[in-house]
Amino acid sequence: MREIFRSSRSLRGRAAIVGGVLSPNESRAKYFGVGAVPGGDTPYLQQQMYSMAALAERDADQPFSKPASAPQARAPEETADDIDLASFAALLTAKAAQEGWCADG
């Protein structure tokens, strides 16, 4: 029976923190009877949760508009130093033969 009570207490404590009702330190004191921890005095909410007032202000001008899309990435421009794969393979083969890296070169 004690396990059920502990589990229930844990769920209530967590819900109070996640819901922004209590700070972690308040929840620790109320539900677990333990002391405060550094940084635990601030209530938290998830970033995507906005107040109705904030949403109304955001949507006042164009309530159904879509957000601007992110700029599209451009393909890198070729430079004079760029070579195609076949040319690179030929240069690499010549260098390997010149340095004696190949057994049959």
Q: Is 17 buried (19+), middle (13-18) or exposed (0-12) by CB count in 10 A?
A: buried
State the average pLDDT over residues 60-80. Answer: 75
Predicted confidence at residue 26, as pLDDT, reads 94
Contacts for 31 with CB less than 8 Å, ≥ 6 apart: 9, 10, 12, 13, 16
Identify the band that residue 33 occupies on the pLDDT scale cut at 50, 70 and 90: very high
Higher pLDDT, 86 or 65: 86
State the average pLDDT over residues 55-62. Answer: 78
Number of domains in the chain: 1
% of residues, the chain, pLDDT over 90:
14
Predicted confidence at residue 35, as pLDDT, reads 94
Q: Is the pLDDT of residue 55 over 80?
A: no
Predicted confidence at residue 105, as pLDDT, reads 47
Could you tell me the residue range of the domain that residue 30 belongs to? Answer: 2-53
Give the chain's radius of gyration (CA, Å): 32
Does residue 72 lie in a domain region?
A: no
Does residue 44 lie in a domain region?
A: yes
Does residue 10 lie in a domain region?
A: yes
pTM above 0.75, yes or no: no
Does residue 103 lie in a domain region?
A: no
State the average pLDDT over residues 28-43. Answer: 90
